[in-house]
Structure 1
Amino acid sequence: MSGFLRRLISPAAPTLQRDTVRLRLEDAEIDVLRVRDPRARRIKLSVDERGVRLTLPPRASLVMGERFLELHRDWLSTQLRSYQAQNLPPPLVIGEPGVLPLRGALLPLRWESGRFAHMRVDGEGACLHWPARGTDATLRRTLREFYEAQTRADVGQWLPRYLPALPRAPARLRLKVMSSQWGSLAPDGSMALDLALVLGRSSAFEYVLVHELCHLIQANHSPAFWAEVEQRFPAWRQERDYFQAEGRRLKAMLRQLLTPTP
């Protein structure tokens, strides 16, 4: 059967339906992303660095979703206060001194005039060369390019150390902003890493790289897999604890840096 006929007679894949609702809490009004997910089996409310999300299964009515929000109003307020207390660096303001998170440190950030936007790190911290017509979109693009370059530099430094003992090298590397994971390895050998890794301490980043490389040997989380990780990175438990303590803050910092200012 041709690909065209297969698409013609096969049912279309279900899609997510999204909209936004306003919810009034004790001290503020917030936007809640409401998502109707064909794969969901129950109503779910979640909070992360991106905001509040209400997930509805196909048969749940909008009224049921609103009631669910009302029942969990106090829980939601507590979770939002927890995120606000994460002690994030102040947002960057174009042209004003600030700090830039990188490899577990906050580098002093200064601005200098330039023909085009680019970032460099020197003995005084980070320097952002800035054109006269730079915009907020320019800033977010420059920050992402900077962090991608720093991430690839770290991977390029560590990867040769581990390749000789692997059955093959990763097919390619993709850098993403991930909501919960820190890395993944696709069946074709493509590796994805969270861009927030380069904001945290380097040893934790290296552990995630080792973790994903070991999936080239064991495509699971069996005792045999963890034995491979232990052999290459004996201190992996300390880095796992680091992510449990600091992971949400790292992801929130990256979101703040890359999200356009309203």
Structure 2
Amino acid sequence: MPSLLLRPLARTPRQVQRDAVDVDLDDGRRITVQRVRDPRARRLRLSVDERGARLTLPLRASLASGERFLHEHLQWLAAQLDRHPPGDALAAPLLPGRTGTLPLRGETVPLHWRQARYLRIERDDAGVCVQWPARASDAALRRALRAFYEAQARADVGRWLPAYLPGLPRAPRQLRLKVMSSQWGSLAPDDSLALDLALVLARPSAFEYVLVHELCHLLQANHSPAFWREVEARFPAWREERDYFHRQGRSLKAMLRTLLAG
């Protein structure tokens, strides 16, 4: 990945600053590059992963130098983006006041902003509304987005769970929503259920399958043929959802990381 070393200043603040810039590639594509000014960075650095394109700038680097560096490496950037499936970079970082869309339940939902006294994110007739106080920080925005996604996920689980409780020996002890690196869910020995928060970005049937999968571990604490018979009896289309995660899982997790961590 391209980089350019710069000498650090003697004293630098520690806050990471983020914004985004749109860039036109030579093949006609317009992409969004996340721009991160990081006090720990010693060089201009351009990288591409599942979250999309990212330009990191040291504090002493000017925006103009960052723009020149970016345009000098457009061919490299295009080649790297071609290595990722189209779905890998669908989510742009959530930036104050920037309209667009937000991934939710397998769709992209319109996102809009409204000035308010308190920071809050909620569904409305137009999509998703961010009620935004003028002095709110980027960190507060990401916390509010996580709270919004958690509320949406709990609502989904609360809607599905009652239909699957009959026939189970007991209900899960509690539900925790976590950002998981590889798993989609787990059931602890004390019957605590953990689900990946990225599931709320997936299509609802896939989310529901993961819930059923983990509930069946209350009956069979393994992945034996007996376990899969329990899953089959409750969710016959489980293979389709498993295949969906094989195709889309990496992208879903990357989108959540981008939105919550930048």
Fold match (TM-score > 0.5): yes
Residue of 158, 177, 180 corresponding to 1:178: 180
- State the partner residue of 1:235: 237
Query: Where in structure 1 are there 5+ consecutive unaligned residues?
Result: 1-24, 30-46, 52-77
Runs (4+) of structure 1 exceeding 4 A deviation are 47-51, 78-81
Contact 1:118-1:130 at 8 Å conserved across structures:
yes
Matches within 5 A, 1:97-108: 97-108=99-110
CA distance in 2, matches of 1:194, 1:49: 18
Q: Percent identity?
A: 67
Q: CA deviation at 1:82?
A: 3.6
Alignment of 1:253 with 2:255, yes or no, is yes
Bigger RCO (CA 8 Å, 6+ sep): 2
Specify the SS of the correspondent of 1:252.
Answer: helix
Q: CA deviation at 1:48?
A: 7.8
Alignment of 1:143 with 2:145, yes or no, is yes
Distance change >3 Å, CA 83–CA 179, structure 1 → 2: farther
CA deviation string 1:90-137 (max 9, x = no partner): 222211102110000111100001111111112211111011111101
Contact 2:186-2:193 at 8 Å conserved across structures:
yes
What letter corresponds to residue 194 of structure 2 in structure 1?
A: A
Specify the SS of the correspondent of 1:220.
Answer: coil
Contact 1:49-1:255 at 8 Å conserved across structures:
no
Q: CA deviation at 1:49?
A: 5.4
Contact 1:176-1:194 at 8 Å conserved across structures:
yes
Distance change >3 Å, CA 148–CA 197, structure 1 → 2: same
- State the partner residue of 2:127: 125
Number of residue pairs aligned between Structure 1 and Structure 2: 192
Report the TM-score when normalising by structure 1.
0.69
Q: CA deviation at 1:50?
A: 8.5
Query: Where in structure 2 are there 5+ consecutive unaligned residues?
Result: 5-47, 53-78
Alignment of 1:115 with 2:117, yes or no, is yes
CA distance in 1, matches of 2:152, 2:135: 26
Q: CA deviation at 1:224?
A: 0.3
Specify the SS of the correspondent of 1:138.
Answer: helix
Distance change >3 Å, CA 213–CA 140, structure 1 → 2: same
Matches within 5 A, 1:1-262: 25=1, 27-28=2-3, 82-83=83-84, 86-260=88-262
Report the TM-score when normalising by structure 2.
0.69
Distance change >3 Å, CA 237–CA 84, structure 1 → 2: closer
Q: CA RMSD in A?
A: 2.2
- State the partner residue of 2:31: none
Q: CA deviation at 1:182?
A: 0.2
Q: CA deviation at 1:253?
A: 0.4
